[in-house]
Chain A
Amino acid sequence: MSTPAPRPTLASRRQMLGAGGALLLATFWPTPRQSRAQGASVPAGMAPEQGLLVENAQGAFAPNAYIRIATDNRITLILPNVEMGQGIYTSSVMLIAEELGIDMAQVEIEAAPPGGGAEITGGSTSVMTEWLPLRQAGAAARSMLVQAAATHWQVPVAECTTRSATIIHVPTGRSLPFGAVAAQAATLPVPQKTTLKDPATYTLLGRPQHRIDSAVKVQGHAIFGMDVQVPGQKIGTVAACPVVGGTLAGMNKAAALAIRGVQAVLVNTTNTTVCVVADHYWAARKGLRALKPQWHDGPNAHVTTQTIYDQLHDGLNGPAIVANTKGDAPAVIAHAAATHTATYQQPLLAHATMEPINCTAHVRPDGCDIWTGTQIADRARDTAIELTGLPKDKVHVHCQYIGGGFGRRLEHEYVTQCVEFARQVPYPLKIIWSREEDLTHDRYRPAYVDQMTAALDSKGFITALTHRIVGPAVVARWDPPELTKDGYDEDLSVATVITPYTYPAYRLEFARREAPGVVTAWWRGVGGTRGLFVVEGFIDELAHRAGADPVAYRRAMLAQNPRALAVLDKAAQAAGWNTPLPPGRARGVAVQFAFGSYMASIAEVEMPEPDNVIIHRVTAVVDCGRVLNPDQVISQIEGGLIFGFSAALYNEITLEGGRVQQSNFNTWRVMRMNEAPCKIDVLLMPSTEDPGGIGEVGTAAAAPVLANAMAAAQGRRYRTLPLLSPRNGADHKEQG
């Protein structure tokens, strides 16, 4: 297995992509928010000088993934999606190897430099978007290679087959490695139509394959952004004003420069951040301590956590955008014999990726190179272009392994920051944020308040449902064109409008309240994570109110949805839902449809005291369409659940005087091995549907399934996150 670690290099995009004489096949997959990127054209510098750049997609497109088959038989897959743990390198290699007729071990991976579109890895979309184009690309390349070989041997194409990157003429047993005909193949027209393999003949897809990045990661050879070593680099560490919007008031520059190893003290142009540069991180850190920057706190100095919650609760009344409507839900509720209302609250959350934020940049008069882990390489490049004024082809982003994304690296402000400071020095500058900087200057998952009201029939089932979400519209900052005309962020529809359930009448309202003093952003599971906690908690409340079993109540609501019903039934069976529990234990359930996948989950908990939760077992049944790599789907669900449990139980960013109060893992608690569920059983439903997303599915389920189990254990609702917040004890003693 070759090392897929992208190495820092000053090679230009052209050099990186177009090896002389190689077959270079470009493919394109639409990224989730790129559907509007009309009229994108092949970016400058993309046409390879030798070899072939081929479109396999229709019409205008921006190529951003490539297969390169070099004359020395090296096969490289150049991917825009970055590996941040979700296993995308492995599944991408599986897709291409399956159709190309090669062994997985024969493929090397490179991280693609930014292309012409919005290159993002997020929203659990990687497999969904790669599923078709990568197979088509593999099939097209194979067909061209076989054609080239057949022409060489003067035999019919039909007599040729491929195995392990070799074309074989079956009747004579002659063979040629792919590399031997790559140059010839590159001169052939790309087939307009490719025939994909019959899934029944798959040898790789659908069978568990080991991750291709395991070996380098367990040996410590994988290069993360943090590990980049560029000759001559210096290390910087930064302090931004602890209050968003504040500016630098003073500092002791001489004291910092007096620290051994400190090279420079830099201030950014907006006067919001200082950077101490040194020979190594420790000297920089000591320098920053000696620098003792003082700050004008600015307009957000008064912000507290309560400021934010108060404005969210305030948004429950007054005007709101109607985001989705069916029938006249308010009228049904107004005339209903029975209604049920509940208010849910969720906190600001930090990402706290294991790899603290870092970026390396070398800005020269004639070019700029950036090495970093990013889920959004295009923006990383564009910010550098904007700052340096360099032309596009002089700015290179070298994507590295990501030590945890979770949405944090969909932001690129740390790249902007690094380039700003790197411009001021002649050497390559690696900026490393301390963990304290990383946690106090994160871009946080927003806090939300939701209120739902249901009209109920005589059996306690929903006849109408209204739902008001109060919170920010992340997309308004992150991708303004995606905000709807009336100001709605469609991400909020996940797990709210888009659910496995159908309601006779429905109305979703959104009252936008941007949190002062913090920047809010995407976080693993995005709309699904925030929406599912509310909706599945509320459904559970209604089941209890109806005196119904929570599984049976949901089953009745899912009659029209066989995939959802199937995962629920299987989960109930696997978890022994109807079997007696050991004394002191309770179960909770959640059902979801998000990111294109269905899942039902059941948690079994014990609460020896009201504030002590032991998660004994979680059972999850997933229908994510066709499963490419079953064991990695299981791994993502296991990890996603634990990530979600950690936040659900422990996490809340709080502010005092505009300053974030949590600073490191002493105060930002992360679930540990001895708190993680003793047993997580993940079962996969066989399916021939197109693959759904998986990276965020488990995280979305975590809070609701745990809250529902805790509610069953304690006989009271848990409507506020984190679940052990005193608010749950104070406000929600009633069962519903």
Chain B
Amino acid sequence: MLSLNINGQSHQVDVDPDTPLLWVLRDVLGMNATKFGCGIAQCGACTVHMDGRAVRACNLPVGLIGEQHISTLEGLNPADPVTKAVQDAWVALDVVQCGYCQPGQIMAAIALLRAVPHPTDEQIDSAMSANLCRCGTYVRIRAAIHHAAGALA
């Protein structure tokens, strides 16, 4: 049994320690907001926060997590100013298309804005280019991050 702190709650899970967090979230705990895209940390669809840092759940073995706090998209407080600003900006600018990558994009954007409240285009590219989108919503993601940063000012 491993103990994991996810979205402020302690969960006991009976899996091998090499099991990536992604599959514990999705298949063991039934938390589906975090998506499977590649399994090798190349697409970012599985981005969650670990102690506030944007990390890929698909190649994070649960045996390495220990006491670190995990938060997922469905566990974010929608009233949190950064979360709200980002989600509102995504809706206001109609960023999503198929939407499958967007949980990861949003988690990455929230982590970015917490670290850099007013990122430049270059800083956004630096932080967001590890997150893939096949629908090609990049132009709007960039705009939405600026939009959210403005709303937080």
Contact = CB atoms under 8 A, between A and B. Distances in A.
Q: Would A and B touch once assembled, by the CB under 8 A criterion?
A: yes
Interface of A: 83-87, 210-211, 213-215, 217-224, 226-227, 229, 235, 260-261, 279-283, 286, 352-356, 401-406, 432, 434-435, 631-632, 635-636, 638-643, 646, 664-666, 670-680
A643 B19 contact: no
Interface in B3-34: 15-16, 18-20, 23-24, 26-28, 30, 32-34
Contacts of B98: 83-85, 353-355, 401-405
14 contacts: A218-B99, A219-B33, A281-B36, A282-B19, A353-B98, A353-B134, A354-B100, A355-B35, A356-B37, A639-B137, A641-B136, A643-B136, A672-B132, A678-B121
A702 B54 CA distance: 32
B97 A639 contact: yes
Contacts of A673: 124-125, 128-129, 131, 133, 138, 141-142
B134 A406 contact: yes
A664 B100 contact: no
Given A226-B32, A638-B136, 4 more contacts: A214-B91, A280-B19, A283-B16, A286-B18
Contact of B28 (A220, A280, A356, A643): A280
Contacts of B73: 219-220
Contacts of B111: none
A670 B139 contact: no
B100 to A, nearest CB: 3
Given A280-B23, A353-B134, A638-B136, A218 B102 contact: yes
A664 B40 contact: yes
Interface residues of B, number: 61
B149 interface: no
B42 interface: yes
B70 interface: no
B23 A217 contact: no
B51 interface: no
A87 B137 CA distance: 13
Nearest to B127: A673
Given A218-B106, A280-B28, A665 B140 contact: no
Contacts of A679: 139
Given A235-B27, A355-B35, A219 B87 contact: yes
B36 A404 contact: no
A638 B130 CA distance: 20
A215 B100 contact: no
Nearest to B32: A227
B97 A87 contact: yes
A665 B74 contact: no
B151 interface: no
Given A221-B74, A235-B27, A281-B23, A356 B91 contact: no
A224 B100 contact: yes
A353 B132 CA distance: 11
Contacts of B35: 224, 226, 354-355, 403
A603 to B, nearest CB: 14
A534 B140 CA distance: 30
A218 B98 CA distance: 11
A355 B100 contact: yes
B55 interface: no
Contacts, number: 191
Nearest to B101: A354
A665 B138 contact: no
A616 to B, nearest CB: 13
B86 to A, nearest CB: 8
Nearest to B125: A674
Nearest to A666: B42
B139 A638 contact: yes
Contact of A674 (B24, B34, B43, B129): B129
B136 A282 contact: no
A354 B45 contact: yes
A640 B139 CA distance: 12
Nearest to A216: B99
Contacts of B137: 635, 638-639
Contacts of A261: 15
Interface string B48-91: 00000000000000000000000011100010000000010011
A670 to B, nearest CB: 5
| Cβ-closest 3 pairs across A and B | A220-B33, A642-B136, A403-B100
B134 A217 contact: no
Contacts of B106: 218
B96 A218 contact: yes
B38 interface: yes
A214 B94 contact: yes
B134 A670 contact: yes
Contacts of A666: 40, 42
A405 B16 CA distance: 34
Nearest to A698: B136
A260 to B, nearest CB: 6
Contact of B87 (A84, A218, A260, A642): A218
A403 B132 CA distance: 13
B94 A211 contact: yes
A496 B71 CA distance: 52
Contacts of B43: 354, 665, 670
A282 B15 contact: yes
A466 to B, nearest CB: 35
Given A218-B87, A219-B73, A664-B39, A640 B136 contact: yes
Contacts of B72: 220
Contacts of A672: 129-130, 132, 138
B27 A213 contact: no
Contact of B74 (A214, A220, A434, A642): A220
A229 B30 contact: yes
B2 interface: no
Contacts of A356: 36-37
Q: Which of B121, B135, B141 neighbours the largest number of chain A CB atoms within 10 Å of its CB?
A: B135
A222 B74 contact: no
B27 A280 contact: yes
